[in-house]
Amino acid sequence: MADAWEQGREAINGCLAAGVREFVVCGGARNAVLVELLARAEVAGRVTLRRHFEERGAGFFALGRTLASGEPCAVVTTSGTAAAELLPAMIEAHYQGRPLVALTADRPERFRGTGAPQAIEQVGIFGPHAGTGEWAEWDRRSPWHLNVAIEEEFEPGEVEWVPEKLRQEPEWPRLAVAGLARWLKDDLFRGLVLMIGELEAGEREEVFHFALDLGVPVVAEATSGLREALVALQLPDPDRMLHANPPGKVLRLGGVPSGRFWRDLEELGETEVWNVTRSGFPGLARDCLTTEAPVGKVIRALGEVDEAGDALDLLTGASRRQAEIDELLEAYPDSEPGMMRTLSLYASLSSSVYLGNSLPIREWNLFAQHERAVPEVRASRGANGIDGQLSTWLGWTADDADPWCIVGDLTALYDLAAPAMLSQVSRRRSLVVINNGGGEIFARLPRLATMNPRARELMVNPHQRTLEGWASMWGMDYLAIRSTDDFDALESGEGPRVVEVFPDAKETAAFLERWDELGGG
């Protein structure tokens, strides 16, 4: 029988040697030896630890930590279904290309396939979404699973930690940019559009100058960090403007865009698409070209680029369209888009903004203020799901001074245990929940109008819940906003708070009707 203490020591030292310095611990009987070793490692100054009682939220919190630092973070679980709770976060990390590590304790191998308590088939449980094996095989830019089949009883002993090592850079495929350089010069009469998704903070200045040099119309998502900086080149209503006049070429930098036109590209086979993305995922099921590398590295390799310009004159009507949008927002201030505009004015003064998920992201991109740069904007868009959004935000902003999060009501209801981490992160923070009584993003689908009323109910999940009691349960302040007059109260507050925004349904409907008319104009 293998010695549990030695097995545990080998596992933790393996993590340290691989560059893992931060752990989120979900304690249990089976992983007690790992918890003991990590506690000693913390005392020795080798690791940073946080604790959680719920593995699913812990996984997303750890994912948030990888967003903040760019470094690996590990979640430590006990045996049984505890490991299975990490699957959603591991999937998200896979599609984002983040170094999330699952360190899962397991009963000894002789229990596999027996149906004994706390014995499930952990090996390969994350399928293609996480690697496993020898640490030397890990590229440090994707999820990794370390399964430790171990006896429950252990005898504590001495620990000799592996020597400190310099942090290792992630491994990337060989970079070649000659083809992309030629592509940026060819057939420019067909029109080139630059679509910028989520960027790492260190890439933004290079992308900014690249966009200015290229001089083409831009669709810059809030998560690019360049939405306000590139306003002179930005298309204000990109989905409809590009749908009406599709470009011949699209260059995507960074994460997969959230807008509708990106999905339209599935059917626009005549539009050439070239992706430059650290994840390596093209984001489309059709033929396109993809360079898998950090965006900044590719731009540096390209060097100076020639101006391509606006061959399709897409920017000619941009200022007029933006003015029309601004007029609509002023006419319907208590509509959901109108309230997003007002929220964005306050949130732009914060240290960071997290958007989760689909509807808040799209409404921010379309309707948020565009005059003042927002310091840092993130979203969790690997799989485009609503799972674990609050936990990811708390992980990403654990050390921030005044972070904001803007989510929908169902997204908040999906992650009710997230505030358990509040005692282990910075206190001053604002969680804004847009409560429109259900999944309104589905209610806006054209096909829903032709569906059975019962089918509509099943899609939208309508509810009449508010979050005041939930906020009280976790010791958070609570503020309800039902009109633009209530926003003045946002200027005060020091502790964690929930700001629940209730858009006026009639104003929202009127806004959307005018918005549809604007699209056809």
205 pLDDT band (50/70/90 cuts)?
very high
* Spatial separation of the C-alpha atoms in residues 53 and 301, rounded to whole Å: 46
Nearest one of 112, 122, 115, 118 to 152, comparing CA atoms: 118
At 441, the pLDDT band (50, 70, 90 cuts) reads low
Q: DSSP letters along 80-119, please?
A: GGGGGGGHHHHHHHHHHT--EEEEEEE--GGGTTTT-TT-
pLDDT for the residue numbered 353 = 97
What pLDDT was estimated at residue 470? 97
- What is the model's pTM? 0.94
Considering only CA atoms, which of 7, 55, 60, 4 is closest in space to residue 27?
A: 55
pLDDT over threshold 60, residue 74 = yes
pLDDT at 1: 47
Q: What pLDDT is stored for residue 439 in this prediction? A: 67
Residue 521 pLDDT > 50: no
pLDDT digits (tens, 9 = 90+) for 290-318: 999 999 999 999 999 999 999 999 999 89
**Which of 17-26, 80-89, 156-165, 344-353 is the least confident region?**
156-165
Strands of the 218-220 sheet, one edge to the other: 218-220, 192-196, 249-253, 272-277, 289-292
Binning pLDDT at 50, 70 and 90, where does residue 443 land?
low
Please give the pLDDT value at position 2: 66
Rounded to 5 degrees, φ, ψ at 278 are -70, -25
pLDDT, one tens digit per residue, over 182-203 is 999 999 999 999 999 999 999 9
Question: Domains of the chain, with CATH numbers?
Answer: 4-149 (3.40.50.970), 178-302 (3.40.50.1220), 318-520 (3.40.50.970)
Q: Tell me the CB-side half-sphere exposure of residue 460, using CA atoms within 13 A.
A: 22
Q: What amino acid occupies position 264?
A: D
520 pLDDT band (50/70/90 cuts)? low
Q: Which of 5-19, 102-116, 263-277, 404-418 has the lowest mean pLDDT?
A: 102-116
- pLDDT > 70? residue 246: yes
Averaged pLDDT of the chain? 93
CA angle 463, 512, 260 (to 5 degrees): 90
Return the ∠ at Cα 60 (arms to 55 and 66), rounded to 5°: 125
* pLDDT of residue 75 exceeding 50: yes
pLDDT band at 169 (very low <50, low <70, confident <90, very high): confident
